[in-house]
Amino acid sequence: MIVFPNCKINIGLNVLNKRADGYHNLETVFYPLPFYDVLEVIQSTNKLKTYELLISGTTIQGNDEDNLCIKAYLLLKKDFPQLPAVKICLHKVIPAGAGLGGGSSNGAFMLMLLNNKFNLKISEDKLRNYALTLGSDCPFFIINKPCIAHGRGEIMNPVELNLPGYKFLLVNPGIHVSTSWAFSQVKFSNEDKISNIIHKPVEEWKGLKNDFEPVAFEKYPAIKNIKETMYNAGALYASMSGSGSTVYGIFTKDATINHSLFPQEYFVKEVSL
């Protein structure tokens, strides 16, 4: 069985406060984009290994045991010991550690794939609970529709937000921004609620802030330069996604964007809905 895990962007991201459990309360809009990895699971005949992971495409740092596809498999294997050994083939296209949720999407789609392939009959609510143990934004990919998220990101309310008349430009400079470091440096938000702005036209979204931007921009001016370049190129709205380092711009669908405005070594991708 093959599935296509997609990425997401954050439209606005307010860090409200730190919780007693060490996590932070957030407010953000998760918006899915049609830009995909490829994930395939095959029942294995290898009796010596519970799982095998084959990764192609973009390089991923770390051990197999840290991959969220493996963690998702082992999480379900604990509660569903009848799960057979599997071979997992993951082709990475979405940049890793880039604020686009690629790893989280892989983990969530792995849960759904195993549920469907092996007829585990796990409800959507239960899948979301499993996903939350993998990461704070993993539950979003179980729903995979635009929503306003609160709490750690797991409390989600659908939002009517259709952007078919626009194209998105994703630019990643290859800089790794540590999420834990970013949380340790961020100043808590006192911005207007995202829900007060998100229903306005895209041209009026400049009031939507990502609280991680000042932290990332100060340490990595190249990320700030990407955002400024997008606005100079005609973006209606531009923002860093998550804790970075990907910056996205929203343009009219007929806009012609000069990719050479960005250094050749940057990852640059246009996405249309």
CA end-to-end span of the chain: 25
CA distance 101 to 255: 26
Contact between residue 75 and residue 117 where contact means Cβ atoms under 8 Å apart: no
Which residues are known catalytic residues?
8, 137
Which residue's entry shows tokens 């379900």? 76
